[in-house]
Structure 1
């Protein structure tokens, strides 16, 4: 792949149109990979409810505006014409843990995998996390998704497994989830 521009921090004032690409990528990852990512396809049609997913990303955009979330975007070019992948950092209010953050929805377009997109957006997410004082990051991923091998390569430590954590979008079987953390201090 040609040289990629650096990942960028989602800005609601300029990146609202990108929410449609994020929504479609979210749906593609669920349908194509069976990714456990909040939404299930319709049982009878196998299709995703795109308006519902878009509404979800619009609500997360509002969290960005409020300062309780950051979204990192990787585009294919400087013109930001095509989104390759993204990840979100949840930064909920907590007096007992103002330094914690939750890594959510690391999604890479199926056509842009194996190009270092996950590593790039996670690196930027960690950089921004440190800037915002969020230095203990936690995340979860489904066992068997392949992502359980990505996070240790990025320096995340396995905490444990939650059995029967989520519903697989294709089989509707309950899947086990693996928890990870990374201390950036």
Structure 2
């Protein structure tokens, strides 16, 4: 039987307080081969600096940071970032949807995405976009949740080991 988990939205101060746990999730994902902006030589200090930066940005731009937690602490996280340009005030970007390997295959990713969609609505957005690595589990999850696949940009990013990977772009009207 899988352990239950809870979903909650963090305020900027709580994101900063949770930064060490979120850094551990990010590091685990990169070590597991996820292409999420970092390379294999990323340190825990790099990951911590990233999440502290997210907390600072959250205080400035109002982005939503949502965590999934079980009895052992945070096991997943996702951000919804409001688009910046004035002509895109209706839109947000889903970013850093990460699930620690200990939390996979328990519905954490789906729960985080549903919460991200609600957070988008709460932020007054009607359109969300995201991108993910072509051919990975996340691509299948987003399609299953009704996200519309726009297309693939070949060799858009690198895997942590330096291999190029295609990036799939998705959107969803919410």
Mapping 1:72-87, distance limit 5 Å: 72-77=66-71, 81-87=72-78
Aligned-residue offset at 1:12: 2.4
Scaled by the length of structure 2, the TM-score of the pair is: 0.93
Aligned-residue offset at 1:115: 0.8
Aligned-residue offset at 1:89: 0.8
Structure with more helix by fraction = 2
1:174 maps to which of 160, 164, 167: 164
Is the alpha carbon distance of 1:139 and 1:133 closer, same or farther for their aligned partners in structure 2, counting shifts above 3 Å? Answer: same
**Structure 1 gaps, min length 5:** 43-47
Q: Is the 8 A contact 2:15 2:51 kept in 1?
A: no
* 1:51-110 deviation digits (Å, cap 9, x = unpaired): 122111111111111234111011114xxx511101011113221110100000110010
Aligned-residue offset at 1:15: 4.1
Moved >6 Å (runs of 4+)? none
**Structure 2 gaps, min length 5:** none
Determine the C-alpha separation between the residues in 2 that align with 1:67 and 1:117. 26
Mapping 1:29-44, distance limit 5 Å: 29-32=29-32, 34-42=33-41
Which residue is 2:153 aligned to? Answer: 162
Determine the C-alpha separation between the residues in 1 that align with 2:136 and 2:119. 26
Determine the C-alpha separation between the residues in 2 that align with 1:26 and 1:2. 21
Which residue is 1:45 aligned to? Answer: none
Determine the C-alpha separation between the residues in 1 that align with 2:3 and 2:26. 24
Is the alpha carbon distance of 1:82 and 1:131 closer, same or farther for their aligned partners in structure 2, counting shifts above 3 Å? Answer: same
Aligned-residue offset at 1:2: 4.0
Q: Tell me, yes or no, if structure 1 residue 53 matches structure 2 residue 47.
A: yes
Mapping 1:7-156, distance limit 5 Å: 7-32=7-32, 34-42=33-41, 48-77=42-71, 81-156=72-147
Which residue is 1:183 aligned to? Answer: 173
Structure with more strand by fraction = 2
Determine the C-alpha separation between the residues in 2 that align with 1:50 and 1:103. 23
Determine the C-alpha separation between the residues in 2 that align with 1:146 and 1:54. 25
